[in-house]
Amino acid sequence: GENVEQHPSTLSVQEGDSAVIKCTYSDSASNYFPWYKQELGKRPQLIIDIRSNVGEKKDQRIAVTLNKTAKHFSLHITETQPEDSAVYFCAARPPGGYSTLTFGKGTMLLVSP
């Protein structure tokens, strides 16, 4: 089955800095890679996703890059703000009607004012 590794487990940055979270996956057939943000006590919320037919996707301050050859994908947050503080989970999913998301272990991002 799919295995997703996520690093770092904790990331502390100053407000205005950039933050990068990296994930690697094991199943070369995986073709869908979402990122979820979960604030303390709240639900995971999809913030951005990427499919294997593109290498990069951007939405305002958030971008995701995908390297299929190396089987890794990364989340980039620029101009971080205190409200970006949360746990971020990456996930990967192979194709197929019965495939499910495999999550990374999560990264706690702390943005200090």
Partner 1 sequence: DTEVTQTPKHLVMGMTNKKSLKCEQHMGHRAMYWYKQKAKKPPELMFVYSYEKLSINESVPSRFSPECPNSSLLNLHLHALQPEDSALYLCASSQEEGRNIQYFGAGTRLSVL
Task: List the one residue from 34, 56, 59, 73 that touches partner 1 (CB under 8 A).
Answer: 34
Burial of 97 (0-12, 13-18, 19+ CB in 10 A): exposed
Please identify, using beta-carbon distances, which residue of 25 and 89 lies nearer to partner 1: 89
Which of the ranges 17-25, 60-68, 75-83, 102-110 carries the binding residues for partner 1, by CB under 8 A?
102-110
Write the single-letter amino acid at 112.
Answer: S
Which of the ranges 21-29, 58-66, 73-81, 103-111 carries the binding residues for partner 1, by CB under 8 A?
103-111
Tell me how far apart the alpha carbons of residues 52 and 64 are, in angstroms, rounded to a whole number. Answer: 12
- Interface positions with partner 1 (CB under 8 A): 34, 36, 42-46, 49, 87, 89, 93, 95-101, 103-106, 108
